[in-house]
């Protein structure tokens, strides 16, 4: 009798365990899908494309540790490390737990020349070769963490108020952010001094975002996939020889319609057909 009862208890416990494990797996799967869908996260320098990054990152935290403990992050008054740029996602952050990210308005990337966060990555989630220059040296300027975007309606420079805070804060002065002069037709006397972000040079460090003087930053960094459009592979820059090479082996496809069979002069002189 006791043996039968023990067996029933064992079976019940087993079923409950399997059920809880299944439920936990479903909840984790749902959580993973929801946080992976968040497109507004900024990753460390050299991070792979988001999907590949989430697969490669082992959530060890070595990059965040290296960021916090870098020599340039030591407070000269206290002798202790300040809060690092990189944070590790935790529950409630709407990001996959244990993955590194940063928020420019809190702590931007300070563009360390030796990029301490990248060489310590053991899994390749932070791709060091992508940050090497022609001399095969680490070059933080090769980083593409995101792209700064200016909201013209709230940027006071576009109102006519002279402000170059973001321009001055940019570590690639007059390269990643340039100033464009335009006549102010409203006053007829003054000139606009407009910050223009250069897509090919901006690293997405966020120093401009932190420096912005408006109540809510009028310049902010977005991930490249969000900030940038895409013309499509079927468009070619006729003035760019490298872009011409991209379609060097392309074959023309001619589509014939009833309208295209007609003589061009007849087409121009006839009434519109729909």
Enter the pTM of the model.
0.75
Nearest alpha-carbon partner for 89 in 80, 98, 81: 98
- Segment 2-15 shows an average pLDDT of 59
Nearest alpha-carbon partner for 177 in 156, 152, 207, 154: 207
208 lies in the same domain as 124: no
Last residue of a domain, one of 142, 163, 183: 142
For CA atoms 80, 84, 88, 92, the dihedral sign is positive
Q: Which residue has the higher pLDDT, 53 or 245?
A: 53
Residue 197 has pLDDT above 80, yes or no: yes
133 lies in the same domain as 58: yes
137 lies in the same domain as 182: no
Any domain includes 104: yes
Q: How confident is the model at residue 28 (pLDDT cuts 50, 70, 90)?
A: very low
Residue 69 has pLDDT above 60, yes or no: yes
Q: Which residue has the higher pLDDT, 36 or 227?
A: 227
Any domain includes 255: no
The boundaries of the domain holding residue 59 are 35-142
- Segment 94-104 shows an average pLDDT of 91
Last residue of a domain, one of 93, 108, 142: 142
Number of domains in the chain: 2
């Amino acid at each position: 009798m006791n043996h039968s009862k023990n067996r029933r208890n064992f079976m019940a416990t087993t079923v409950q365990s399997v059920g809880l494990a299944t439920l936990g797996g479903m909840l984790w799967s749902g959580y993973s899908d929801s946080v992976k869908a968040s497109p507004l996260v900024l990753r460390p320098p050299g991070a792979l494309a988001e999907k590949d990054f989430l697969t490669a990152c082992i959530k060890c935290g070595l990059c965040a540790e290296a960021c916090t403990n870098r020599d340039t992050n030591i407070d000269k008054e206290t002798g202790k490390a300040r809060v690092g740029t990189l944070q590790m996602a935790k529950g409630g952050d709407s990001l996959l737990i244990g993955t590194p990210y940063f928020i420019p308005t809190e702590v931007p990337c300070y563009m360390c020349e030796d990029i301490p966060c990248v060489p310590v990555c053991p899994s390749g989630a932070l791709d060091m070769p992508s940050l090497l220059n022609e001399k095969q040296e680490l070059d933080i300027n090769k980083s593409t963490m995101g792209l700064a975007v200016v909201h013209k309606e709230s940027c006071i420079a576009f109102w006519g108020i002279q402000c170059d805070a973001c321009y001055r804060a940019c570590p690639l002065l007059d390269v990643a952010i340039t100033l464009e002069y335009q006549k102010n037709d409203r006053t007829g006397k003054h000139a606009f001094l407009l910050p223009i972000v250069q897509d090919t040079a901006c690293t997405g460090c966020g120093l401009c975002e932190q420096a912005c003087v408006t109540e809510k930053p009028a310049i902010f960094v977005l991930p490249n996939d969000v900030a940038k459009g895409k013309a499509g592979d079927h468009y070619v820059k006729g003035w760019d020889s490298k872009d011409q090479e991209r379609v060097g082996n392309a074959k023309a496809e001619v589509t014939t319609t009833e309208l295209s069979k007609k003589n061009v002069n007849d087409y121009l002189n006839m009434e519109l057909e729909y």
